[in-house]
Structure 1
Amino acid sequence: MMKITSARVILCSPGRNFVTLKIETDEGIYGIGDGTLNGREMSVVSYLSEHVIPVLIGRDPRRIEDIWQYLYRGAYWRRGPVTMRAIAAVDVALWDIKAKLANMPLFDLLGGRSRDKVLVYGHANGTDIEHTSDEVGRYKEMGYKAVRAQSGIPGVKGAYGVGRGDMYYEPADASLPTETVWNTGSYLNFTPKLFQRLRDVHGDEIHLLHDVHHRLTPIEAARLGCNLEPYRLFWMEDATPAENQEAFRLIRQHTTTPLAVGEIFNTIWDCKDLISNQLIDYIRTTIVGAGGVTHLRRIADFAALWQVRTGSHGATDLSPVTLGTAVHFDTWVPNFGIQEYMRHTPETDDVFPHDYTFRDGCLHAGEKPGHGVDIDERLAARYPYSPKQLPIARLQDGSMWNW
């Protein structure tokens, strides 16, 4: 029987913090998994080190399903972002090992290609409408066929999506949360003007996406969806908090703008009703957020029954390990929609060598056995953990709101 001989957490910050799990076996094959939880990294480090790694030693790494069930059912305290990211780190590392054992790229182990390339979207973020339009043009010049557009809003301090720098937006910015101020009325009046300008300048061929970031009530989201219909968005993302899945029924009744949600979901139970009632068009749950390849595959298969497609989250707080694994998953999954692709810094790419590539607006999975991503531990050691937290949002009267 093949055995897991060791597992350890590697915490590093090459431009931002990442939690990486490395599992080693008695046959000299190892696997890499990602357990990063932006702004709460140390909670996953502790969960892995204190509770998960001790029960892995001596187990057969080929028994991926049994280990997944053991970590999920055996914990009693199920679900949640910390638990599911720890499970995801283990699960992805085990799939990496198994694909290496089979001498196959991960997409082949999953069942082979459903497509030759993976459509991705980038992030065009500007301080105002003209700046955002210029950024959309820059992404088009880089070959992107789909772009998410966010803009600063007059009178709104710290509008979501307007980052520091041109390519590597990272909202976690301080050891204690910074505060932003939100104004729903200003946002609702401004956003249709942004997309009218983008269509006027860039035409109808480019796919345009937009992230509301959970800022609206259901009826406000319905209004925005109606007002954006002339500009034919690829999707409107996270229109309202989804703890109440029924809220999306109200939005759906009022607009044909496609709806996407799910980057903060942890299990199939967070999206079961949204999918089965066809209240969304894209499920954005991630490999790292939803317990790895094993569980995301179940979510995708369930979604396919209802003609809901995948659109996995892919911001910089997901390490190249998750992105590389996602590209393999996207290459295989039949009901693929699109993949978010926010580029990592050069320092991150050096720490995590990988064989996925970008060209012609798409990511292409490599052919190396496994998920094709590794970690340079010596280089990682040069970038120690740097505590950072995500901002918070308040309304103008000082009350808390959804960041």
Structure 2
Amino acid sequence: MRITDYELFAVPPRWLFLKLETSNGLVGWGEPTIQGRLETVQTAVDELVSAYLLGEDPLEVERHWRTMYQGGYYRGGPILMSALAGIDHALWDIKGKHYGAPVHELLGGQVRDRVLVHQWIGGEDREAIAKEAISRRNQGYKAIKMNATAEFRALEPPGTVERVRKRVATVRDAVGDDLYLGVDFHGRVSKPMVRRLVETLESYGLMFIDQPVLPEHSGFLSTLTEQTSVPIATGERFYSRYDFKPLLVEGAVTVIQPDVTHVGGITELRKIATMAEAFDVAVIPHCPLSPIAFAATLQVVLCSHNGVMQEQDLSFHDPAESVGLQYLDDPETFEFDDGYVSCPTEPGLGIEVDESYVREQSRADVKWYNPVWRHEDGGIAEW
């Protein structure tokens, strides 16, 4: 069996899908997405597949990963690792289908039967956010995540901090103490303000505070972790085990959130999770993407002892309303019950992509860029 061809599909809302074909008819799907840079990562996929994969045996996943990563003098970073990630998903999908087994079985087998998932809730008005949180709880979710704030200046007065507290307090009061509640700072808050905000939110029983500072300021996280009882999380803008290593060695975080579309795929996510387990650090992968990325993430979480839950934004409670699940032959592929998604049993990633629907949707002009925010003085703000 050899890799013979590939296709890339940019589809709404902001995703890139890879179809990898083989000489015996097996097909693998992957998601080499990097939001807002689809054309750039598409070029990187073209270069990697053309230079290293065509004509090769798709079953040698580790060999191909090392070659595509280590074969380049310049390596790592969001573009190359996201391109490598989508290719890796597709190779594992092919390998699972070849052996008639889900990927998690090839990785050693499951350590749990189902995986808890968390759902993001958005908006700025705190009463509206609270209503959405109640709605999600009633739909069966046991864990939710919300943003702490919109744009946030390097120094803010007490009233701004109080507004953040009230947002979180309103949601916690609305859903009670039995729901997991995460708060995402999104790297919007400066180091001088982070300590004050974390201290203000400490009494609300948060499951974590995500990205309290930007990745380039991660050296501050160990200090922050020592000063609070709130679990500190980061990782969605990290790209390999080498990025996570100093955080683990320094005891800087209690939760990491690698993204299977940005850390080089299933191969690297599995290694990151195993490395984190040695430091008693939980893994809650970042995954606000398509069912391909979700399925790839799920395969790793199922066989990782410290994979306590994972993110999703696919409306599992009602597949008919889900934009993402329509890309599957069966939108009800993932069995959702009581806040959990059950262990898939089908080979490979455990999903069947509706190729005709993908082709139809790829006719759209998919041009998505994240907003550029500015403070009232015109200076750029973190989004």
C-alpha distance in 2 between matches for 1:210 and 1:232: 11
Q: For residues 169-180 of structure 1, what are the structure 2 equivalents within 5 Å?
A: none
Q: Does structure 1 residue 21 correspond to structure 2 residue 18?
A: yes
Task: Pick which of 200-209 and 185-194 moved more.
Answer: 185-194
Give the alignment partner of residue 126 of structure 2, picking from 126, 129, 144.
129
- Structure 1 window deviating more from structure 2 (44-53 vs 324-333): it is 44-53
Correspondence 1:201-350 to 2 at 5 A:
201-315=174-288, 318-343=289-314, 346-350=322-326
CA 257–181 in structure 1, closer or farther in 2 if over 3 Å, else same: closer
Q: 1:181 to 1:376 in 2, by over 3 A?
A: farther
Q: What is the TM-score normalised by the length of structure 2?
A: 0.92
Which residue does 1:172 correspond to in 2? none
Gaps of 5+ in 1: 154-158, 161-179
**Paired residue type of 1:337:** V
Corresponding residue of 2:318: none
1:200 paired with 2:178, answer no
Which residue identity does 1:399 align to in structure 2? Answer: G
1:38-117 to structure 2, matched below 5 A, reads 38-117=35-114
CA distance in 2, matches of 1:369, 1:51: 26
Distance 2:126 2:311 in 1: 22
Give me the whole-angstrom Cα distance separating, in 2, the residues matched to 1:101 and 1:382: 28
3-state SS of 1:189 partner: helix
Structure 1 residues 196, 17: closer, same or farther in 2, change over 3 A?
A: closer
1: CA distance between counterparts of 2:143 and 2:99?
Answer: 35
Q: How far does residue 54 in structure 1 lie from its aligned partner after superposition?
A: 4.2
Q: Is the 8 A contact 2:133 2:174 kept in 1?
A: no
Secondary structure of the 1:330 match is: helix
> CA 1:138 to 1:347, structure 2 compared with 1: closer, same or farther past 3 Å?
closer
Deviation at 1:119, TM superposition (A): 0.8
CA distance in 2, matches of 1:261, 1:147: 16
Cα deviation for residue 150 of structure 1 reads: 3.6
Q: Counterparts of 1:129-148 in structure 2 under 5 Å?
A: 129-148=126-145
Superposed CA deviations along residues 206-258 of structure 1, whole A, max 9, x for unmatched, are 11111111011234212211111111100000100122321112312321111
Distance 1:387 1:184, change over 3 A: farther
CA 352–189 in structure 1, closer or farther in 2 if over 3 Å, else same: same
Aligned to 1:244, what secondary structure does the other structure show?
A: helix
Q: Which residue of 2 aligns with 1:6?
A: 5
Distance 2:242 2:329 in 1: 34
Deviation at 1:183, TM superposition (A): 8.0
Query: What residue ranges of structure 2 are gaps of 5+ in the alignment?
Result: 316-320
Q: 1 CA distance for matches of 2:11 and 2:164?
A: 37
Which range is displaced more, 122-131 or 347-356? 347-356
What displacement does 1:311 show?
A: 0.8
SS of the residue corresponding to residue 230 of structure 2 reads coil
TM-score for the superposition, normalised by structure 1: 0.87
Worse-matched range after superposition: 130-139 or 212-221: 212-221
Q: Which residue of 1 aligns with 2:329?
A: 353
What percent identity do the matched residue pairs reach? 30
Find 1:386's aligned residue among 346, 360, 366.
366
Q: Is the contact made by 1:34 and 1:92 (CA closer than 8 Å) also made in structure 2?
A: yes
Secondary structure of 1:22 counterpart? strand
Offset at residue 335 of structure 1 (A): 0.8
Mapped to 2, the partners of 1:111 and 1:352 lie a distance apart of 26
Specify whether residues 346 and 194 from structure 1 end up closer, same or farther in structure 2 by C-alpha distance, changes over 3 A only. closer
Aligned residues, how many? 373
RMSD: 2.0
SS at structure 1 position matched to 2:24: coil
